[in-house]
Amino acid sequence: MSSPAVLPISNPQPAAAVPAAANSGQPQPPIATPAFRALINHLSNSLNNGLSQRRPWAELADRSAFSKPESLSDAALRVRKNYSYFRVNYLTVVAAVVAFSLITNPVSLIFLAALLAAWLFGYLFRPSDSPVVLFGRTFSDRETLGILIVLSVVVIFLTSVGSVLISALLAGVAVVCVHGAFRVPEDLFLDEQENASTGFLSFLGGAASNVAAAAAPAVASRV
């Protein structure tokens, strides 16, 4: 008697290897830059910390505390003392004046927003392996930086953006100076620790350092 025929048996490949091979040829989706997320977090934390130090607005607008200064030196002293106490409120007022000026000038707002977006997504937080390609030409990082600098000069100095920002800042500072000159600061008490940290640069120093720390890795990779 002849032996029964032996059927060939094939071992199937693991199913997990098939999707991996299939996915290797597919383009990877864009990945959000961690530095950009860090920048947003830093800005949000700095804004929250700064607003937590503001004084009550009712105290800022107390009518019984207003009087005419006796001299120009008295007005300057009042401005200095009131700014040390109401610095966050004053900066909020200046920011509100600038925002209102930009909103009432939509063309300047569009130009400024486009310039900011070009710096953020075109250079600072653009992936290093994704060069800028315009009209079929690939631009290097140095060329991109030069174009952005020239574009910034054109937008700020050759359009209405610069005049709108300067006029808004001057108007906001004028409002702050008038309020500080007529607000009597005798009823205001400022701790020594708070007094040591007053000033525009010291208030913005934390936010600026956070932004620089968030953007440093992206900038360093292009140098």
* Residue-level pLDDT at 41: 73
* pLDDT digit string, tens, across residues 146-163: 999 999 999 999 889 999
Q: What is the model's pTM?
A: 0.65
* Residue-level pLDDT at 13: 52
Tokens representing residue 34 in the block: 């961690």
Cβ partners under 8 Å of residue 35, min gap 6: 124, 125, 214, 215, 217, 218
* Residue-level pLDDT at 102: 94
* Residue-level pLDDT at 28: 41
Give every residue of the chain whose pLDDT is below 70, as ranges: 1-36, 39, 50, 187-223
Cβ partners under 8 Å of residue 138, min gap 6: 131, 132
